[in-house]
Structure 1
Amino acid sequence: MKPFATALTAAATLALAACAMPGADSAKGLITLDGKQPLVVAHRGASGYLPEETMEAYARAVELGADVIEMDLLITKDGVLVARHDPNLAISTDVASHPEFAARKKTMKVDGETQTGWFIQDFTLAEVKTLGGISTDAERPQQFNGKFKVATFQEILDFQKLKTRETGRAIAIYPETKNPTWFRDMGLPLEDKLIAMINAAGLNSKTAPIYVQSFEPGSLKYMKSKGLNTKLIQLIDGDGIDMKTGAMTYAIPVDRPYEWAKAGDARTFSAMVTPAGLAEIKTYADGIGPWKRYIISVKGTIGADGKPVDVNKDGKINDADATSITPTTLVADAHKAGLFVHPFTFRNENRRLPIDYAGDPKNEYLAYYRLGVDGVFTDFTDTAIAARTTYMREIGR
């Protein structure tokens, strides 16, 4: 991973952005890889407003103008692909309130991390369909918890066709093979079912409105070898940021692809953002989906005691106590390698916004749009689109 530069003051950061952004002194073309405006990818649907990965969340995202709706794919005991982020259903559903499933609670490892809860491979689709999605963020609306059901991938494919007809827009989908090695180890591989469904939907081409993503290179390489011709995206994760240095930190299960951990490969995800790593990704994928901190990291104020300072005095240390630092060259490096860049995940909550964005999430999007990212994963579609409109106006488009 490239070293992060020292922190800039808020004023210096804004001045640098103003000087460097396309269109600062005259209208110029977009600096995305394909020369088109960056995509707004609705991360798990309109998950800032409604329980994630439900049909209601996807419908709301389309209403708000999303170009793409994104989903994580897991598989049920009876082999059906469903949209859910965590195999542990306790994280995003009301399974804990269903007494009929109480006996299925257990403790097990998921990608090397020990978890306790109810796990999707122990449930049939019919049983999963009795569960309701819940908000996974306490700061977000809670009144919809339990009201909307888990969506199947087939329902999403049908929805995509319907909404494309209704809106006259090519609504794209962005499925992820989630925990693919872990599921394969349990005899429930995801990839072949996904390929079959993409083929049946008529989406198996580079020009089709679909992107297929995974954190595990082996999953993408396998699908490519089995005839998947869609755009493929290598996701790149990290655990957190060292507030003293701005450097990425790594911890299980987001330190490396699980297939690497199983194979004893000691590299972390940082290996993927080097020129050599990007060149390797280009051999099997079309783009990268990095955690946004690989592009613009943050750095805290360090006190005399050597510890980060709680700048806003809310009793917590988070991004709201930090300042953005000089961007890395990852976007330009990826573009040079022929890869597009879709960073994740943009959110509106104050605790997630560095000081230099002045409490306005649109300022964060603008910083990334000005660097030429090809799209953004967002929980708040409307905010991403509003910022994109501002950016397009800046460059005279």
Structure 2
Amino acid sequence: MLSPAPAAVTSDPQQLVVAHRGASGYLPEHTRASYELAILQGADVVEPDLVLTADGVLVVRHENEIGETTDVADRPRFADRRTSKVVDGVVRTGWFAEDFTLDELRTLRAVERLPHLRPGSRTFDGAFALMTFDEVLDLAARSTTPDGRRVGVLAEIKHATYFSGLGLDPVPRLLAALDTRGWTTDDAPVMVQSFETACLRQVADGSGVRIGQLVEAGEVPYDLVVARDPRSPADLVSAAGLAAASRYADAVGLEKGLIIPRDPTGRLLDVTPVPRQAHDVGLEVFGWTFRRENRFLPLDFRVGTDPAAPGDLAGEIAVHLAAGMDSVITDHPDLARVPHPAAVPALA
């Protein structure tokens, strides 16, 4: 079990606040400053996304395409590295981590991925360097929450099938990093998650750390697509699908619409059976991703009409906790720590 949290928007002491790419609602994501701010804000866990460099080093970026989150486009030295690739069946154009050595990536600086929604964060463009996975693990290992608990890490493997096809299998590198720190058992302050299933099974075979199966509404993991697995998106969150996941995973990370869907106007509908079915087979339920901007909130919790304006994030989180979510993955960990009225709209 990752370190339990004190009461936040819930009275349940087991609820965890996971800082999505750090405090990424305030500072450019996946930077040391973003992770440090998240820890100061009371996050129990920080969540790095893992991609690989040309020389096989795990670095933390939301995607292997780095044009959206670094200043690489402003570096004439790397202009000829802009290219198009097919990643998980989708054509992407830009600059890719796997085409750079670690030393080259260290010359770049992070920029805000959503500048139109987060102009405050944009003012820090160019201020922070990129980080390796090892550096995030070291930061967590020497950090504690404001009330003295150890900080956990929820590490997400990105594009495992794609990288393995390049001869850059991320799993052995991840396991080596954890093994160096003795984080190899289910009581280690780490969980490994991915949308792809094969890499998670590989982690389960090579380590005792806890595992989270991510699920996105309407999507099938790319490794299953490659394997011509006949399961549909609905199959993955059925009772049988969740039971299958429970044979290698400890938790399921659900896109929040799989917990409470929305109608065409953006209002919340009734709770789905997915959280209950996950609990029935022993899976914890993590929900993602909770952000304060109206653009990301259901209509029920928006404040005003400006998409970039802050709405009632604590209210949205509280409703999902009442619906069976155990822990929250959020860009704004401080707001998940704000006490919220006990009365929550009944959606079930």
- TM-score in terms of structure 2 length: 0.89
Aligned to 2:332: 380
Where in structure 2 are the equivalents of 1:1-397 lying within 5 Å?
A: 30=12, 36-137=13-114, 138-140=116-118, 141-164=121-144, 168-226=148-206, 228-238=207-217, 250=218, 255-301=219-265, 322-359=266-303, 360-386=312-338, 389-390=339-340
Letter in 2 for 1:234: Q
Task: Give the superposition deviation at 1:233.
Answer: 0.3
> Quick check: which has more Rg, 1 or 2?
1
CA distance in 2, matches of 1:221, 1:124: 29
Cα separation, partners in 2 of 1:271 and 1:127, compared to 1, 3 Å: same
Letter in 1 for 2:282: G
CA distance in 2, matches of 1:270, 1:142: 38
Letter in 1 for 2:254: P
Q: Secondary structure at the match of 1:341?
A: strand
Letter in 1 for 2:112: S
Task: Give the superposition deviation at 1:100.
Answer: 0.2
Q: Secondary structure at the match of 1:205?
A: coil
Unaligned runs of 5+ in 1: 1-27, 31-35, 239-249, 302-321
Task: Give the superposition deviation at 1:94.
Answer: 1.0
1:211-242 alpha-carbon deviations (Å, 9 max, x no partner): 1101111001011112x11110000013xxxx
Q: Secondary structure at the match of 1:345?
A: strand
Task: Give the superposition deviation at 1:174.
Answer: 0.6
Percent identity of paired positions between Structure 1 and Structure 2: 40
CA distance in 1, matches of 2:267, 2:242: 28
Task: Give the superposition deviation at 1:271.
Answer: 1.8
Q: Segments of 4+ in structure 1 off by > 6 A?
A: none
Q: Secondary structure at the match of 2:23?
A: coil
CA distance in 2, matches of 1:345, 1:84: 16
Q: Is the Cα contact below 8 Å between 2:239 and 2:277 reproduced in 1? A: yes
Letter in 2 for 1:229: G
Task: Give the superposition deviation at 1:165.
Answer: 8.9
CA distance in 2, matches of 1:186, 1:204: 27
Cα separation, partners in 2 of 1:78 and 1:167, compared to 1, 3 Å: farther
CA distance in 2, matches of 1:165, 1:384: 14
CA distance in 1, matches of 2:330, 2:18: 6
- TM-score in terms of structure 1 length: 0.78
Cα separation, partners in 2 of 1:172 and 1:390, compared to 1, 3 Å: same
* Root-mean-square deviation (Å): 1.8
Task: Give the superposition deviation at 1:383.
Answer: 0.9
Letter in 2 for 1:378: T
Q: Secondary structure at the match of 1:325?
A: coil
Letter in 2 for 1:237: E
Q: Secondary structure at the match of 1:278?
A: helix
Task: Give the superposition deviation at 1:189.
Answer: 0.6
CA distance in 1, matches of 2:290, 2:146: 28
Q: Secondary structure at the match of 1:164?
A: coil
1:316-353 alpha-carbon deviations (Å, 9 max, x no partner): xxxxxx21101112111111110000010000111222
Letter in 2 for 1:157: L
Task: Give the superposition deviation at 1:355.
Answer: 2.1
